[in-house]
Structures are given as structure tokens and as C-alpha cells.
Amino acid sequence: MDNIRFVLIVTFAMLVFMLQQAWQQDYGPKPEIAAVVDAVATNTKEDLPSATGASAQTEPSDQDTTAVPLATLSSANIITVKTDVLALEIDIKGGTIQNLDLLDYPQEKSNTWVNSLRELIGLAPTEKNTTPVRLFDSSQEKLFVAQSGLIAESGFATAPNHHTVFKNEQTNYDLQSGQDSLTVPLTWTDNNGLTITKLFTFKRGSYEITLEQKVKNDSSKDWSGRQYSQLLRVPDTTSGGGMLTGGMRAYAGGVIYTEKEKYQKISFDDMDDENLDVATVGGWTAIIQHYFASAWVPPADKENHFYTKTLNDARYVIGTYSPLVTVNANSDAQFVAKLFAGPKIQPMMEETAHGLELTVDYSFLTFIGKPIYWVLNQIYNAVGNWGVAIIGVTLCIKLLFFPLSQASYKSMAKMRKIQPRLKELQERFADDRPRFNTEMMALYKKEKVNPLGGCLPILVQIPVFMCLYWVLSETVEFRHAPFMLWIQDLSSQDPFYVLPVIMGITMKIQQSLNPAPIDPIQAKVMKMFPIIFTIFFLFFPAGLVLYWVVNNTLSIIQQSYITRQIAKMP
């Protein structure tokens, strides 16, 4: 069996599948999304969690009788918060977090090297959208907010939910130089002795927001209630994807992590089909997208209930509510939760919650992907360049599979050596195919050549190559990461297509080291493969193409050496 033909056919099939997926995502039929009118303006409380005996009996307070759409809120109702990595708004109506920008992550990266070259040859520089990525958004077509509140148990006094208007001391909070944390307080009282203080705490360099809801019961009656925290989103149909993010659109939707089932995807279609209702100790709920995640993390030592809801106007809710807590008269209690809203940087997410790093989805090859990511991270910490880290991990993988590659290349070298004799047999028995096959197998046996020897070692390596593809496509650290010269973003295509052309050349050289197919038609088809793959790789992220260039180059060196050694043998 011709090894290179087998590998190319498998790879070609993978590329065709990825192209089909990208085409369907970008140009295929899409479900109609109803216009979002007056989002979160409902006063029916349909977007509250249905905890047993809780929300159904909870009536809005007088201040909730007129709900206001997010898009028309006045600036007096908005608190702006800015840290070194986040800029966001907190709506005093419920303490809803909205319009959250990731300051270190621009929408697009301006390539100064390319612009300088364009100016040199008289072309206008390319304009890029360098505004920060907006994770939470209050606009109607991209509605995505983080909500939280309390729900009083049936028969008890009311409690502030995300429709309740709080009081605030100031409208602007900035994390000052030398300041490690920042706290934004909101207060509410029912004028009967129950006071709720809602605190949002931000830390320098962190995408984790701590939520504390302090209940002070100065009334003469006990109070019982639960805390809930949820994400409300309209699916974003305007975001890009496809080829430039690695050939396949990354998953965007809900995910949960439970003690029993571990990591689970809960897509918007799943939410349409059935409401989620799961009890678990610890865990978290989230909505993720390519490179970024938003997750509510309740206390890990308590049993929490996870839920989803599908609301009107194509809105979806995923969240968690706490166990029932009773606050005796003239006493107090505290509810705590954490919100992660930022890039999917695995070490940072591991510190926030167990299993949160799994939102970086390496599909079913996670058990291989995590070690590859770890090696990449270690090399980057040593050299400070993700492009060099890709080269380093490629070298590590080649060393790991050196014995298998050695066996594969030896088999191909032996096949190449007996190629003239096979050609002779083909000509001699051109009209007798069964006799040709018999004579060919006899020649293999005599020369101790295993026709499958070049294929089987490659089969073992294919999962690793596939996993590396996912790692390079899903890891946010590669987004806008520079390599050298004109390659200033490893997550986007080579602006001058130099790497894809080099990849095609190395593929052609490697093909010349392999035994050519005996069939002339197959031989002509094989000669077209480097051109076809070069065209495919024109649109692939530079990081992926860099890996293939380095891998092909190392393979050429190893295979050339083995081929020369086999050729010297009698």
C-alpha cells in the first residue's frame, strides 16, 4: 500500500469535511431569529428560575411596575466600572452586568509590518477594527447579559431580583494605580427591616468577578430565600467563523459541569427541546464562544440547581440557584457566587473553578490536547514567542514518534528500491492481473518488504496531528500572537501567502522521496496534491501552516537520510 497516497487521501477527506462544515455555517440555511423588542422588559417574571415554591408566588415590588428596555436606559441608571483588563456597565435595575469589554483583546489586530510595506509600494494601509472585544452586550440584536438576584420563599417577604431597582453611591468606579481590588456596592430595602447589599468585587489582572449578596434581617420575622445567577443571551448570528478560524466554526452555546456527568454541552436547540433541571454539588454553568467564555460559579461545597429556559423573542437563559437559606429575625446571612467573563486562558480558568478549562474544547481528543497545550505553554514561558513554541512542540512530537517514523520511512525506502522491479512485473503481466498480484506478493516476501509498514505507524500519529490542529485552533493565546516579520497574527492567514507556498514546496519534495504509484493515472493525480493542498492552506491560520512547514521539513531530513542508507544496502 502506497503510504503517501493513503495519508493524502485521509487528509484530503478531512479538508473536504471541514470545508463542507464551514460552507454550511456561512452560507447554509439558518433559523429565523425573531426581532428582540424591549429585551428584559417583561414584567411576567418568566426569566426567573422556577425554584419550588419560590418564583411563582413572588410578586414584583411597586418599583418594578414599569420595566425599561436595556437599550433606552438613561445614563443615571448605569454604573461604569473599569479595571486594567475590563470595562463594563452595571445596571442599577437588578445589578445586571452588561456591555463588558475585554481591553486586552481588540476585535482585529493592525499589522504595522504589512501596512508599512503597503505604503512603500504606494497602497493605502489596511484599516482594522481595534476596538475591544465586547463579551456582554445590551444591544437588541446581540443581547448577552449576566443577571443575579434573590427569590424569597413562598409566604415570606419579597426580595430583590434582576428587575428590582437598587440604590448606589456613585456612577463611576476605576481601579487606580497601586489598587489591587475594587468593590461596587448596591443596596435595597423593603422598609420593613430587610436590607440587601449587593457587592461586586473586581481584582487587578483578573476576569473573575465576585458577587456577594448580604441579607440583614432587622425585622421581627424570619426570612427564607435563595440566590440565583444566570446568563441571558440571544444567539449571535453575525459573528464570523469558518476557514479563518481553522476550517470549522467553533461551538457557541451553553455548557455545564456537574459532579456526575462532568462537562456537557447544552446547545440553544437543546434548550428549545427541554428545560434543564439538575442538582449537583459544586459545578458551574456557562455560555461559551470561540476564544471566550462567561460562567457563573456557585460555592463548590453546596448543592446547587442548574436550569435553562427558553423565553420569548429567541432569548435563552442558563443559570443556577442555591439551596434555601433561612435568616432569622435580627440576624444576617450572605450568599456568594463568582462570575468569570473573559478569554479561555486555561491556567486562569483552573483557578476559578474545577473543570472550567474544559471550555477550551479539544473534542474527544482532550486527553491528548491538554499535554500538547502544556508543552506549548512551557516552551512559550521559556522563549516568549508562540511561533517558536509551535516549532518546539513540532520537534517534540517528531522525537516522540521517531521510532514509528523510522519504521515508516524504511518501509517506503524499500518500496522505492524495488519500484523498478514492480514496474517490470506490471509490464510483463499487463494482461494477467491475478498473476501480477501473486508475483508482487512473492517479491515483497523475498525482499522482506511490508506494504503496510509505511501506513500503520502513520495511523498511530493521526490522532496527535488532529489534536494539535484543535489546540492551535482553540487556544486563545494564539489569537493575534505575533511570530516574526510579516506574521503578526498566528490565528489568521499569512497576508502574503509565503508559508502556504513553502508548505507546498516541502510537500512536493517529500512526495519525490516516496515511491511513485505504478498506475500512471494515479501518478498524475498524486502530482496535483501539493498544488491542491497549497490552495487549501492559503486560507488556514498561519500557526497551523507553520506547524505543517516545520513537520514537513523535519520529515524530509529524516526520510532523506533513511532513503540514502537503504539505497547503499546490497
Q: Which residue has the higher pLDDT, 275 or 115?
A: 275
Residues 369-394: pLDDT tens digits? Answer: 889 999 999 999 999 999 999 999 99
- Strand segments, DSSP code E, in 112-233 are 132-136, 144-152, 167-168, 172-174, 181-189, 194-203, 208-217, 223-233
Radius of gyration of the chain (CA): 30
pLDDT average, residue stretch 322-333: 93
- CA 476 and chain centroid, separation: 7
What DSSP state is assigned to residue 490?
T
Residues 390-434: pLDDT tens digits? Answer: 999 999 988 888 877 777 767 666 676 777 777 777 777 777 778
In terms of C-beta density within 10 A (0-12 exposed, 13-18 middle, 19 or more buried), how is residue 419 classed?
A: middle
Map residue 259 onto helix, strand or coil.
Answer: coil
- CA proximity to 550, closest of 411, 389, 435, 427: 389
Residues 338-376: pLDDT tens digits? Answer: 999 999 999 999 999 999 999 998 878 888 888 999 999
pTM, 2 dp:
0.79
pLDDT over 90 percentage in the chain: 45
Which of 64-78, 150-164, 538-552 shows the lowest per-residue confidence on average (mean pLDDT)? Answer: 64-78
pLDDT of 460 over the 50 cut: yes
Start-end of H helices in 384-484: 386-400, 402-417, 419-428, 433-447, 456-474
Q: Do 130 and 106 meet the contact criterion of CB atoms below 8 Å apart?
A: yes
pLDDT average, residue stretch 312-334: 93
Sorted by sequence, the CB contacts under 8 Å of residue 233 that are 6+ apart come out as: 143, 144, 145, 287, 315, 316
pLDDT of 240 over the 90 cut: no
127 dihedral zone (left: phi>0; alpha: psi -120 to 50; beta)? beta
Predicted pLDDT at 18: 55
Report which listed range, 29-43, 236-250, 339-353, 406-420, is most confident: 339-353
Phi and psi angles of residue 310, each rounded to the nearest 5 degrees, phi first = -110, 120
Q: Do 18 and 45 meet the contact criterion of CB atoms below 8 Å apart?
A: no
The amino acid that residue 318 corresponds to is I
3-state secondary structure 449-463: CCCCCCCHHHHHHHH
Predicted pLDDT at 471: 87
C-alpha cell at position 461: 500519529
Q: Do 498 and 485 meet the contact criterion of CB atoms below 8 Å apart?
A: no
Predicted pLDDT at 25: 46
- Strand segments, DSSP code E, in 38-93 are 78-82, 86-91
Residues 251-274: pLDDT tens digits? Answer: 899 999 998 999 999 999 999 999
- Strand segments, DSSP code E, in 456-546 are none
pLDDT of 103 over the 90 cut: yes
How far apart (Å, rounded) are the C-alpha atoms in residues 546 and 557? 17
Start-end of H helices in 248-365: 268-273, 346-352
C-alpha cell at position 518: 505504478
Give residue 526's pLDDT band: very low, low, confident or very high (50, 70, 90): confident
Residues 196-220: pLDDT tens digits? Answer: 999 999 999 999 999 999 999 998 8
Which of 29-38, 194-203, 234-243, 485-494 shows the lowest per-residue confidence on average (mean pLDDT)? Answer: 29-38
Residues 117-140: pLDDT tens digits? Answer: 656 666 666 666 679 999 999 998
Map residue 358 onto helix, strand or coil.
Answer: helix
Sorted by sequence, the CB contacts under 8 Å of residue 16 that are 6+ apart come out as: none
pLDDT over 70 percentage in the chain: 74
pLDDT average, residue stretch 99-105: 96
Q: Which residue has the higher pLDDT, 528 or 327?
A: 327
In terms of C-beta density within 10 A (0-12 exposed, 13-18 middle, 19 or more buried), how is residue 482 classed?
A: middle
Helix axes 3-27, 520-537, angle to 10 degrees: 40
Predicted pLDDT at 56: 38
Distances (CA, A) of 498 to 292, 336, 494: 30, 52, 7
Predicted pLDDT at 54: 41
Predicted pLDDT at 492: 84
DSSP string, 6-73: HHHHHHHHHHHHHHHHHHHHHHS---------STT--SS-TTS---TTTGGGPPPPGGGSS---GGG-
